[in-house]
Structure 1
Amino acid sequence: MLRDTLKKAQIEAMKSGDKERLAAIRLILAKVKDRDIEQRTSNQDGDDDAMVIDVLQKMAKQRRESIEMYEQGGRDELAAKEKQELGVIEDYLPQQMSAEETTAAVEQVKTDIGAEGMKDMGKVMAELKARHGAQLDMSKASGLVQQALS
């Protein structure tokens, strides 16, 4: 399980003295623990790895947005810290689909469900997330779905 891999990585980072990596992994584990607490109160049971991947994807998205804002604001030292954290987060994410693979997946889903226009965008996005959620950046896929349906 991904959670066990993260815990082992935390121990390895402690032993090797890699403070930056250790801090990023601790941050990931804290976010996962937060999600565990949320799920306890909402009575949702699901795949643990899928939940951890969802947490990692959200953290990666936040880091990318922060990097962009820091670079626009001329705060290169903060952008560098965010890039380092993003690198650690991406180490534990599944390999993301390329633009060509994403386009092919969008076309396949569009054909499979018979989507014809923008009114079917929600259906296409839901099916994409169900089929390829872990390997797909849904924000990028959204733009491709819009292009395919317009």
Structure 2
Amino acid sequence: MSLKQTIENEYKNALKSKDKNKISTYRLILSSIKDLDIVNRSGPNKKETDDEDIKKLLKKMVKQRAESIDIYKKNNRTDLLEVEQNEYDILKSFLPKQLSDDETKKICADVISKIGANSLKDMGKVMGELKKTHADEIDFSKAGSMIKELLNK
């Protein structure tokens, strides 16, 4: 079953259980997927929207929620924080599990030694290799700072 079908099924279940928070979040996701479908169908590179496109969209939405959560925490807006946190949790549930900081650091160190990187100039090579092998598992914003730290030693 595709990711889109999974989300649609979850949406139907939320409608049956009358869970207003989930319903609004699933509607938001499905609306964004529909927008993505329209973009993919028009323009020079016509293609069907696949699971990878949807994962990229969900990652972008998760990142937006994480930024909003930080802002709401700083400004003590618990009312808005709760809504964003619920959306964040639902969005994350459709993405592959991210590796922990320790696991990410170990993988970064392994890749650095594998390709023989020894300065910050090699950071692009290291990131490229990580994206090839661990695209869905690693938070690249964290990985970037870890790689800088490892290359500066």
TM-score (norm 1): 0.91
Residue of structure 1 in register with 2:64 after alignment: 62
User: 1:120 aligns to what?
Assistant: 122
In 1, Cα distance between the equivalents of 2:47 and 2:145? 31
Pick one of 106, 109, 119 that aligns with 1:107. 109
Confirm or deny that 1:35 pairs with 2:32: no
Q: TM-score, normalised by structure 2?
A: 0.89
User: Retained in 2: the 8 A contact 1:54–1:134?
Assistant: no
The separation in 2 between residues aligned to 1:38 and 1:118, in whole angstroms, is 37
Contact 1:94 1:134 in 2 (8 A): yes
How many residues align? The count is: 150
Runs of 5+ in structure 2 lacking a partner? none
Higher relative contact order (CA 8 A, sep 6+): 1
Percent identical: 39
Give the Cα separation in 2 of the matches to 1:47 and 1:104: 34
In structure 2, the CA distance between the partners of 1:57 and 1:71, relative to structure 1 (3 Å rule), is: same
CA RMSD of aligned residues (A): 1.8
Q: What is the alpha-carbon distance in structure 1 between the residues aligned to residue 46 and residue 126 of structure 2?
A: 24
* CA shift for structure 1 position 109: 1.6
Which of 78, 81, 84 is the equivalent residue of 1:82?
84
Q: Kindly indicate which of the two structures has a greater share of residues assigned to helix.
A: 1
Equivalence map 1:8-23=2 (5 Å): 8-23=9-24
Q: Which moved more, 1:81-90 or 1:38-47?
A: 38-47
Task: Report the equivalent of 1:24.
Answer: 25
Question: Given that residues 113 and 124 in structure 1 are in contact (C-alpha distance below 8 angstroms), is that contact kept between their aligned partners in structure 2?
Answer: yes
